[in-house]
Amino acid sequence: MKKLLVVFTAIALAAFARGAFAQVTIEITESNRDATPIAVAPFAREGTGFPAEDIADIVSNDLARSGQFLPIPRTDMLSRPSQESEVFFRDWRSINAKYLLIGRESMNGPQFRVDYELFNVATQKKVFSGYEAGPVGDARMMAHRLADEIYEHLTGVPGAFATKLLYISVARVPGGNDYSRLTMSDSDGARPVVLLETKEPLLAPTWSPDAKHIAYVSFETGRPAIYRQELATGRREQLTNFKGLNGAPSWSPDGKSMAMTLSKDGNPDIYVMDLATKQLTQITRHYAIDTEPTWMPDGQSLLFTSDRGGKPQIYRYDMRTGKTDRVTHEGSYNARARVSQDGRSVVMVHQQDGRFQIAVLDLVTKRLIPLTSTQLDESPSIAPNGSMVLYATKDAGRGILAAVAVDGDAKFKLPAREGDVREPAWSPYISR
């Protein structure tokens, strides 16, 4: 019997603490030259029972990872205030901080609270203040939400730190008994949770619009099949079991349908499944290979990859008219499209000078801009606020995850401690 282990989210952290190879860590490799200097002073604590996490440090790292901010090292700080009365702006002007964030942590039984205040150093004025509160076990996500508040207040764009990542990790075992694990983590790679472990390949993880379910392709039955899994319970449902290709699941924006690639009738085509009835509607009917569907935000059209023009390019299918138009024209290879939340930009794998790179296409201006310059980049996924693109690449012969700002000015890597990681998927915004 093939080994397959489904892990319920509630028990996964304890059960799989030994699975260290699934852990990815952040390495910032390039920052925005115009990043805003910000000082995040260590938060004060009074009492006992606090979480192990350094909340201020998590916030600082989140802001740094965005590429929009340049946190000032703690070793450069001349003071460490936690109350407004303790703030002496000359200390922060002297180290060129533009903003200062201070905070205080407190405990009330099992409840944890963080109060914070943000100051403009030049004007010596409080910009805003707020708090995060919840169970002590939720402290790390509270820190991410705090960073989201700072990011949105200073940039006007919602933050995407309090989100999740999915990725596939592969452990190389002597004798060919490799293991694939479907792993979920925080947006910074912390707190990895193994959702599924199998000796067979796993592919194409994707999120439902409400972030409560995921879908993916598993070969556990001996051939590819699409599964849906509920995160809260671990309950799984096999959605397809056709002969041939079953792949590339993509949820519709309303969560009621799923686009996919099936070759059950002989040729790979795009289908849409009604998830309530399991009824299939065939979208494309072409002798070429049509694959990798992804929905436009309005749910009225799909992008997909096809070689019907001789080389892989991205096409758009209008659900209302049935009309198909070619979207990409620059370059001999464009594939794996992913659309920004506002529907204006598409990121993709683009071949240039023999290298497969991540590029972004503005659907209004038709301008295509490469974002990466490495050799073999694949599987792009956009942050829900449209600011960063997560993708898979190679580093020293190993599969790793990396990210790049949509403007190309900031980059970071998320290498795993062991094994290879691939097929990343950035979650939608997660409701509290």
Largest pairwise CA distance in the chain: 73
**Percentage of the chain modeled with pLDDT above 70:** 91
Q: Which residue has the higher pLDDT, 241 or 317?
A: 317
Long-range CB contact pairs, 364-367, < 8 A, 24+: none
Lowest mean per-residue pLDDT among 50-59, 134-143, 259-268, 407-416: 407-416
pTM of structure: 0.90
- d(CA 224, CA 127) in angstroms, rounded, equals 53
Is residue 96 scored above 90 in pLDDT? yes
- Domain locations along the chain: 4-25+163-426, 35-155
Distance CA 388, CA 407 (A): 9
Q: How far apart are CA 258 and CA 250, in angstroms?
A: 5
Determine the pLDDT at residue 353.
Answer: 83
Domain covering 4-25+163-426: architecture = 6 Propeller (2.120)
Confidence label for 1 from pLDDT (cuts 50, 70 and 90)? very low
pLDDT for the residue numbered 431: 87
Answer with the residue of higher pLDDT: 157 or 12.
157
Quote the CA–CA distance of 24 and 426 in Å, as a whole number: 14
Q: State the DSSP code for 66.
A: H
The residue count of the chain comes to 432
Percent of the chain with pLDDT over 90: 78
- The residue ranges of DSSP E strands in 231-387, in sequence order, are 236-238, 246-251, 257-262, 269-274, 280-282, 290-295, 301-306, 313-318, 324-326, 334-339, 345-352, 355-362, 368-370, 378-382
The dihedrals phi and psi of 337, each to the nearest 5 degrees, come to: -70, 145
The model's confidence at residue 46, banded by pLDDT at 50, 70 and 90, is confident
Contact 230, 213 (CB under 8 A): yes
pLDDT digit string, tens, across residues 369-382: 999 988 889 999 99
Give the pLDDT confidence score for residue 27 in this predicted structure.
66
* Averaged pLDDT, 224-232: 97
Residue 238 sits at the vertex; the CA angle it makes with 234 and 241, to the nearest 5 degrees, is 160
Separation of alpha carbons 41 and 44, rounded Å: 9
- pLDDT tens string 169-206: 988 777 767 889 999 999 999 999 999 999 999 999 99
Distance in angstroms (rounded) separating the CA atoms of residues 136 and 153: 25
pLDDT at 321 over 60: yes
Torsion of CA 234, 240, 243, 246, to 10 degrees: -80
Instruction: Specify the DSSP class assigned to residue 410.
Output: -
Residue 18 has pLDDT above 50, yes or no: no
Model pLDDT, residue 10: 34
Q: In the chain, count of helices (H) and strands (E)?
A: 4, 32
DSSP for 384-407, please give it.
Answer: TTSSEEEEEEEETTEEEEEEEETT
Give CA separation, 60 vs 41, 67, 155, 328, in Å: 9, 12, 16, 39
260 versus 4: the higher-pLDDT residue is: 260
CATH for 35-155 is 3.40.50.10070
d(CA 249, CA 228) in angstroms, rounded, equals 10
Digit-coded pLDDT (tens) for 380-415? 999 999 999 999 998 888 889 999 998 877 888 877
* C-alpha R_g of the chain: 23
The C-alpha atoms of residue 264 and residue 225 are separated, in whole angstroms, by 12
CB atoms near residue 32 (< 10 Å): 17
Residue 28 — very low, low, confident or very high, per pLDDT cuts 50/70/90? low
Mean pLDDT computed over 135-155 = 96
State pLDDT tens for residues 326-365. Answer: 999 999 999 999 999 999 999 999 998 888 999 999 999 9
How much is the pLDDT for 12?
34
3-state class (DSSP) for residue 312: coil
Does 5 have pLDDT greater than 90?
no
